[in-house]
Amino acid sequence: MLPTGAELIYQGAEARVYCVPFLGRKAVAKERFSKAYRHPVLDRKLTSRRVVQEARLLQRCRRAGVAAPAVYHVDLGASTIYMEHIDATTVRDHLHQATLRAEQVSLLAQQIGQLLARMHQADVIHGDLTTSNMMLRKQEEGDQRLVAIDFGLSYTSTLPEDKAVDLYVLERAFLSTHPNSEQMFQEILDFYRATGKGSGAQQVLKRLDEVRLRGRKRSMIG
Amino acid sequence: MTGSTHLLETSAETAHLFYFSNVRNAKALREQLLAGDARLAYALVDGRAVLDPFQLLVAAGRAAEAARDDRLKTRNVHSEVVYNLAPDTNIGGAFRNFGVVDDSQALAVVKIGGQRDEAESDLIDLIDGTPESTERIGSDVDLERIRKCYKLTPAEMAHRTQLINTVVTAMALKGVTQAAITTTSDA
């Protein structure tokens, strides 16, 4: 059960996200809810599996040096993950606010490119990369200002195809949310290539060219 | 008054924390616990293994939930607190690494439920040591021990502001395994 004082901050198709008091800290509680159209047994199984998967991927990212919210508690019975509340603005809002200088944009592109490369090196596919799912901490904590959030659609895979589609989803989100960001996105890919050198980044980017031609879904013919 | 009281939101239980330094009867306390002395209804944690009070509270919160749902992995709710501090499911190892041992000199104590004053006077009676303010919790931490217990990487150790979060994440994911991670999607 959610603590009293929980404040709903986001409602998605799969989960509700609350801001809650937790053992003296401010935390985020993400509660996956059941789907009435699914068979109850299947529903419980799927929901619980996804909660576990999301929590484990958050840890996997952190281990790999990708800043992601810390997990405070997993309540499988209530399908809820309690995690670190990150005092931050989304990259989306950051890019929309005022005009940023070219070097600030480059620095952000560098942080994004490096984060994505490290995440893919750890074989984590985010599954829903947008500029709303990347946040900039207000307070500098070491060099880790950029934090990836919402691993609700994430999974692990070693395939360049999956990593390329991950980047493609971000590219589409980027270009539709931020007009004239082609150059910034190219910079992100350049940093992705540089950071992921020797661990398949080149292959992923090559694959990205193919994905761009055909779109996110793969043809099942043949 | 030296203890502190905290609400465990997920079970609506209460936890009291205490801290003792210069403990001289650690061996006797450990033997008492081992013998199952009912009077020792406390979680006694070696101060060297405690980084932050938050670490103790996360362990306490999970123990209170397990007790409520009748799924304790150990003898009682207080032994469960010690067990919950460990990142793996080895109960003996958890007690060696986090519980009171013969050479413990600083002890963090967690009491779930009950009155703080009662627990406090009882503890002063039981523990031969100096009661400290709970603000001192974490001041006797042995970082090398923390690194080993939680199998932390050099990068994780270097990130001091995130260290406590990394430790708590390791605790929170203990036993959270039942699902296989696959690449299939049915969304």
CB-based contact (8 Å) between A74 and chain B?
A: yes
Residues 14-53 of B with CB under 8 A from A: 53
Residue B187 has pLDDT above 70, yes or no: no
The pTM (predicted TM-score) of the whole model is 0.92
Q: How confident is residue B63, by pLDDT bands cut at 50, 70 and 90?
A: very high
Residue B187 lies in a domain: no
A48 with B179: Cβ contact below 8 A: yes
What single-letter DSSP state applies at residue A178?
Answer: S
B177 with A62: Cβ contact below 8 A: no
Residues whose CB is less than 8 angstroms from the CB of residue A149 and which lie 6 or more positions away in sequence, other chains included: A68, A69, A86, A133, A134, A135
Residue B42 lies in a domain: yes
Question: What number is the ipTM of this complex?
Answer: 0.92
- Which structural domain range is residue B152 located in? 4-180
Q: What is the mean pLDDT of residues B91-117?
A: 97
Nearest-CA distance from B114 to chain A in Å? 18
Lowest mean pLDDT among A95-109, A139-153, B84-98: A139-153
Best interface-test mutation with B: which of A62, A73, A162 has the largest number of B CBs within 10 A? Answer: A73
Contacts of A22 in chain B (CB under 8 A): 9
Q: What is the pLDDT of residues A116-155, one digit of tens each?
A: 999 999 999 999 999 999 999 886 655 568 999 999 999 9
> What pLDDT does B178 receive?
62
The full set of domains in chain A, from first to last, is 7-84 (3.30.200.20), 88-220 (1.10.510.10)
Residue B185 lies in a domain: no
Among candidates A25, A70, A76 on the partner chain, residue whose Cβ is nearest the Cβ of B169: A70
Q: What is the pLDDT of residues A41-64, one digit of tens each?
A: 888 888 989 999 999 999 999 999
Instruction: Please provide the DSSP assignment of chain B as one string.
Output: ---EEEEETTTTEEEEEEEEES-S-HHHHHHHHHTT-TT--SEEEEGGG-S-HHHHHHHHHHHHHHHHTT--SSSSHHHHHHHHHSSSS-HHHHHHHHB--TT--SEEEEEESS-HHHHHHHHHHH--SEEE-GGGTTTT--HHHHHHHTT--HHHHH-HHHHHHHHHHHHHTTT---SPP-S----
Among candidates A49, A59, A75 on the partner chain, residue whose Cβ is nearest the Cβ of B169: A59
Lowest mean pLDDT among A104-108, B73-77, B88-92: A104-108
B69 with A65: Cβ contact below 8 A: no
Determine what percent of chain A is predicted with pLDDT higher than 70. 95
Strand (E) or helix (H) holding A212: helix A201-214
List Cα–Cα distances, B182 to A64, B26, B42, in angstroms.
Answer: 19, 48, 42
Nearest-CA distance from A48 to chain B in Å? 8
Residue B186 lies in a domain: no
Residue B149: name the closest of B124, B118, B170 by CA. B170
Rg for chain B (alpha carbons), in Å? 17
Residues 101-130 of A with CB under 8 A from B: none
Q: What is the mean pLDDT of residues B114-130?
A: 97
Strand (E) or helix (H) holding A106: helix A102-121
Q: What is the mean pLDDT of residues B83-98?
A: 97
Residue B130 lies in a domain: yes
Best interface-test mutation with A: which of B57, B181, B185 has the largest number of A CBs within 10 A? Answer: B181
Q: How confident is residue B64, by pLDDT bands cut at 50, 70 and 90?
A: very high
B183 with A155: Cβ contact below 8 A: yes
Q: What is the pLDDT of residues B9-50, one digit of tens each?
A: 999 999 999 999 999 999 999 999 999 888 899 999 999 999
Residue B185 has pLDDT above 60, yes or no: no
Would you say A130 and A95 are in contact if contact means Cβ atoms under 8 Å apart?
Answer: no
CATH label of the domain that carries residue B115: 3.30.2380.10
Q: What total of structural domains would you count in chain B?
A: 1
d(CA B182, CA B163): 30
Determine what percent of chain B is predicted with pLDDT higher than 90. 86
Which residue of chain B is at minimal alpha-carbon distance from A85? B165
What's the mean pLDDT when you consider all of chain B?
93
Nearest-CA distance from A157 to chain B in Å? 6
Q: What is the pLDDT of residues A72-81, one digit of tens each?
A: 999 998 999 9
Residue B41 lies in a domain: yes
Q: Is A128 a catalytic residue?
A: yes
Residue B135 lies in a domain: yes
> What pLDDT does B22 receive?
97
d(CA B134, CA B146): 20
> What pLDDT does A222 receive?
52
CB-based contact (8 Å) between B153 and chain A?
A: yes
Contacts of A53 in chain B (CB under 8 A): 179, 181
Lowest mean pLDDT among A10-14, A30-34, A35-39, A126-130: A35-39
Residues 192-221 of A with CB under 8 A from B: none
A73 with B58: Cβ contact below 8 A: yes
Active-site option among A43, A75, A123, A128: A128
d(CA A64, CA A159): 18
CB-based contact (8 Å) between B5 and chain A?
A: no
Q: How confident is residue B182, by pLDDT bands cut at 50, 70 and 90?
A: very low
Q: Please report, as a single letter, which amino acid is at residue A121.
A: Q
Residues whose CB is less than 8 angstroms from the CB of residue A215 and which lie 6 or more positions away in sequence, other chains included: none
What's the mean pLDDT when you consider all of chain A?
91
Strand (E) or helix (H) holding A205: helix A201-214
